[in-house]
Amino acid sequence: MVKKLEEMSYDPEVIGLYDKERMDKFVHDVDMHYAREEGIEEGIEQNKLEIAKNMLDKNMGIEIISEITGLTKEEIEELR
């Protein structure tokens, strides 16, 4: 059994399987990182829109809303 394990440890196919598994995990981790970042950015944008909508409901001026939220005047006007 030990001899078979030693042989397998030098087998390029077995080594390749290990490398492929590591690479698949790396790709998965990178994908998850970017998905998380994208989700956070979407959440921030949604929050800005919600705040701007609330400010419009309080009759605040578009200029002030734009200054505070960083949204464009056009984006704010679309909320009406």
CB 49 within 8 A of CB 71: yes
pLDDT digits (tens, 9 = 90+) for 11-53: 777 666 667 777 788 889 988 998 999 999 999 999 999 999 9
- DSSP secondary structure letters along 8-61: HHH-HHHHHHHHHHHHHHHHHHHHHHHHHHHHHHHHHHHHHHHHHHHHHHTT--
- Once rounded to an integer, what is the mean pLDDT over residues 4-13? 72
Q: Is 80 helix (H, G, I), strand (E, B) or coil?
A: coil
Task: State how many domains the chain has.
Answer: 1
Range of the domain at 20: 2-77
